Structures are given as structure tokens and as C-alpha cells.
């Protein structure tokens, strides 16, 4: 039988339970499983009536190469999980005077063991409670907080006493929906195909197609690319890997590109996205057969 681990925080004592335990008093309507949480990887504000910062999701079935990671061990319901991109802090919040209560969630470390996951919450925009505990890569942990009537919670993970930031993965986030200001009807609906991003009624994607978008699509602008580039993190090429990372857009010259040799012209998912003058792309006019291309639906 897995023992209960008790951790002492600044203001309270919290209990961390093994995932072999069931989530207590979490109605189905209160349980966020992140299944199809977004049309692309970044969770948009309004999902379950909350504001999400640096919160991303992925379907683990699309990434079998990560089967030995915390993305798989954290899965509790379905196949989708949430995570903090690049190890940066993740925040869940709601506009005052609204508030929510966080009861529990399942967590794993994405890539390493002995990672410290910490959380700090606010009630009425002032400090409320905090907690820190260890999570592992190949074994998930259920965290029971029972923090009530808060308006912000921030998660962050690290190793070596905070010297190295880490990616953590969560599933089955149990929130008290009676405290939410809106219902889950605010969730994003899937309107675009796989690896496409919905923005202002158009679907956008990146593909190695040499500047030629298929029927029903045309080249997107650099202006839109600059606004939604970060949303491609975690997505993949639409049909083909590129052979040149300067992005063909509707402009005459290409000024956006990927500047990472680890990501450029390599199989996704994208961990780095196009940026202005990235990869030395400046007033570029050359088009290769599989030049990286930014397409939008008509």
C-alpha cells in the first residue's frame, strides 16, 4: 500500500496521495480532463471560464516516441494532458470578484526524476497558500489541495534547488465549478484540421510545400504569422517536412524563419517557431521545392 506523503507549507499542511487513490468528491462536471481542450496546443482564455497562461495540451497518442516520459505516466483520463511549455510558469486565474476552488490533480515530471513542483495561490489578489513536493517521470502523483475561493494559482517546477526549470504534466484537474463565472460552453470548438490554428475565422498551418498552398487555401501574411507563431508549438508540419526554414508568406520577401538547427527541417512537433529574421531570413526571395510555407483557408 502506497503511504501518504505529508508536506508542510507556509500556511497549511497538504496531503499528496498516490494515483491509486480515487479523486474524492469530484463530480464529472467539475473534472477537467483536457480532452480536445483546444484546436491547437495552447489553451485559450475562456476554457472552463478561466484565464490560462503558458498552459498547453497535447494528445499523447500522437507522440508514441514519448511513451517513456511523464506525458504518458500522467495520463489518467483519455489521452490528453496539459503541460507548461519550456518549463516556464503556468498560471490559472479568473477575473475578480469571481473565484474558483482547486481540489486535486494528477502530476508527473516530463523528462526527469526528483523534480520539485511548487504552487502559489492568491485569494482576492493577496497571498493565500503555497505548497511544494517531489514528482517523478515514470510515476504519477495525485495532489489533493482543497484550496477554496481563490482567483489565481501559479505552478512551476525545478531541480537543484530551483537552478533548473522543468516541464511538468497534469491531468484530471478537479475544480469546483459552482464557483466559476462561466460554464464549459466557452470551450474552443474544433473548426480546423489537425495541425491547423483557428484565427479570426481562418485556419492556418505551416508546411514544406515550396510556397504552394492547395485548393481552398492561400498564402497567409507575416502580420498574422507574427501574432500566432507561438501557437504552433507542439504542432507539426501539415503534410511534408521543409527543406528550407525561411517562411513563404503573402509578402514579396520572406522575413520570418526558424533559427534553431535542432528544429529547422526536422520532424516535429515544433519546439521552436518562426520569428522575425529568424535563421537569417531577411528579404529572402529564393524558393526551394519544400520551402516552409504559411497557408490560410480562404
Domain holding 62: CATH number? 2.60.120.1360
**What digits encode the pLDDT tens for the residues 202-221?**
899 999 999 899 998 999 99
The answer on 285 and 240 residing in a single domain is yes
Cell of 83: 503541460
The answer on 204 and 96 residing in a single domain is no
Q: Which residue has the cell 464529472?
A: 28
The answer on 210 and 153 residing in a single domain is no
In this prediction, residues 228-253 reach a mean pLDDT of 87
Query: Does residue 203 lie within any of the structural domains?
Result: yes
The answer on 246 and 150 residing in a single domain is no
Q: What is the domain range of residue 165? A: 5-186
Strand 291-297 to 244-248 pairing = parallel
The answer on 274 and 154 residing in a single domain is no
The answer on 101 and 140 residing in a single domain is yes
The answer on 277 and 156 residing in a single domain is no
The answer on 173 and 55 residing in a single domain is yes
* CA pair distance 67, 86, nearest whole angstrom: 19
* CA pair distance 235, 205, nearest whole angstrom: 9
- Residue 27 neighbours by CB under 8 Å, 6+ apart: 177
pLDDT of residue 188: 38
Judge whether 168 and 115 are in contact, CB under 8 Å. Answer: yes
In this prediction, residues 191-195 reach a mean pLDDT of 82
> Which of 162, 186, 210 finishes a domain?
186
Query: Does residue 151 lie within any of the structural domains?
Result: yes
pLDDT of residue 70: 97
The answer on 92 and 13 residing in a single domain is yes
> Which of 124, 159, 186 finishes a domain?
186
- What phi and psi values does residue 94 have, to the nearest 5 degrees? -145, 145
> Which of 186, 211, 240 finishes a domain?
186
pLDDT of residue 28: 66
Q: For residue 126, how far is the Cα from the chain centroid?
A: 26
Predicted structure pTM score = 0.58
**What digits encode the pLDDT tens for the residues 134-189?**
999 999 999 999 998 899 999 999 998 778 999 999 999 998 754 443 434 333 34
Query: Does residue 62 lie within any of the structural domains?
Result: yes
pLDDT of residue 64: 93
Amino acid at each position: 500500500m502506497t503511504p501518504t506523503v505529508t508536506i508542510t507549507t507556509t500556511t497549511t499542511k497538504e496531503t499528496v496521495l498516490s494515483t491509486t487513490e480515487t479523486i474524492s468528491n469530484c463530480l464529472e462536471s467539475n473534472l477537467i480532463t483536457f480532452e480536445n481542450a483546444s484546436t491547437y496546443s495552447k489553451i485559450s482564455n475562456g476554457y472552463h471560464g478561466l484565464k490560462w497562461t503558458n498552459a498547453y495540451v497535447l494528445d499523447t497518442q500522437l507522440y508514441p516516441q514519448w511513451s517513456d516520459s511523464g506525458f504518458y505516466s500522467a495520463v489518467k483520463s483519455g489521452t490528453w494532458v496539459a503541460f507548461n511549455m519550456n518549463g516556464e510558469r503556468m498560471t490559472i486565474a479568473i477575473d475578480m470578484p469571481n473565484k474558483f476552488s482547486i481540489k486535486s490533480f494528477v502530476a508527473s515530471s516530463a523528462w526527469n526524476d526528483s523534480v520539485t513542483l511548487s504552487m502559489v495561490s492568491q485569494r482576492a489578489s493577496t497571498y493565500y497558500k503555497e505548497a511544494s513536493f517531489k514528482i517523478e517521470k515514470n510515476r504519477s502523483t495525485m495532489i489533493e489541495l482543497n484550496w477554496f475561493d481563490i482567483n489565481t494559482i501559479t505552478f512551476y517546477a525545478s531541480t537543484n534547488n530551483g537552478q533548473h526549470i522543468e516541464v511538468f504534466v497534469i491531468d484530471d484537474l478537479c475544480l469546483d465549478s459552482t464557483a466559476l463565472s462561466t460554464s464549459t460552453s466557452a470551450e474552443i470548438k474544433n473548426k480546423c484540421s489537425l495541425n491547423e490554428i483557428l484565427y479570426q475565422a481562418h485556419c492556418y498551418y505551416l508546411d514544406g510545400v515550396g510556397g504552394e498552398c492547395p485548393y481552398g487555401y492561400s498564402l497567409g501574411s507575416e502580420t498574422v504569422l507574427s501574432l500566432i507563431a507561438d501557437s504552433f508549438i507542439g504542432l507539426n508540419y501539415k503534410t511534408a517536412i521543409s527543406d528550407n526554414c525561411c517562411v513563404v508568406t503573402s509578402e514579396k520577401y520572406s522575413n520570418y524563419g526558424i533559427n534553431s538547427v535542432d528544429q529547422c527541417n526536422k520532424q516535429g512537433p515544433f519546439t521552436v517557431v518562426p520569428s522575425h529574421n529568424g535563421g537569417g531570413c531577411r528579404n529572402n526571395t529564393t524558393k526551394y521545392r519544400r520551402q516552409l510555407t504559411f497557408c490560410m483557408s480562404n
